[in-house]
Amino acid sequence: MKAALVDAALATVPALVLAAVTWRVVWPRWKLVGKLVLHPVLYFALALVIGHWSVPLAWAHQGAGLAGHVWFSKKHDFTWYAVEDPERYVALSKAAVEEFARRRTPPT
């Protein structure tokens, strides 16, 4: 049990650092709270199931999210760590989600 708590803590630290950098561009807003509350719980549960492998798995998940953020920032001419115009970033994120949903919805 103690090892699982340590693993969950190790898995959560990068998520907290990333949230501190990118909190302004998380949309919808509830997602930020969800990430900061739900991820540690999920990492703890994962540590109970697969042990220490939960840490690299969590880091890979967070790395994939960061890679997506960096890619999106480069595509739209933002500095990934500063995001000079968070409102524009969020608007572009919404537009990208809507476009993805539109493509995935079969015509009626």
Quick one: pLDDT at residue 13?
A: 92
Residue 56 sits at the vertex; the CA angle it makes with 54 and 57, to the nearest 5 degrees, is: 60
CA dihedral 84, 86, 87, 93 (to 10 degrees): 120
Closest C-alpha to 27, from 59, 72, 64:
72
Closest C-alpha to 76, from 97, 91, 92, 98:
92
The neighbour count for residue 78, using CB atoms within 10 Å, is 20
Going residue by residue through the chain (108 aa), what tens digit of pLDDT does each one get? 899 999 999 999 998 888 888 888 888 888 888 888 999 999 999 999 999 999 999 999 999 988 999 999 999 999 988 888 999 999 999 999 999 888 887 776
Quick one: pLDDT at residue 108?
A: 67
Whether the predicted model's global pTM rises above the 0.95 cut: no
Identity at 57, one-letter amino acid code: L
Q: How far is CA 85 from the centre of its chain?
A: 19
Quick one: pLDDT at residue 59?
A: 95
Quick one: pLDDT at residue 96?
A: 92
Measured CA to CA, the distance from residue 26 to residue 49 in angstroms comes to: 29
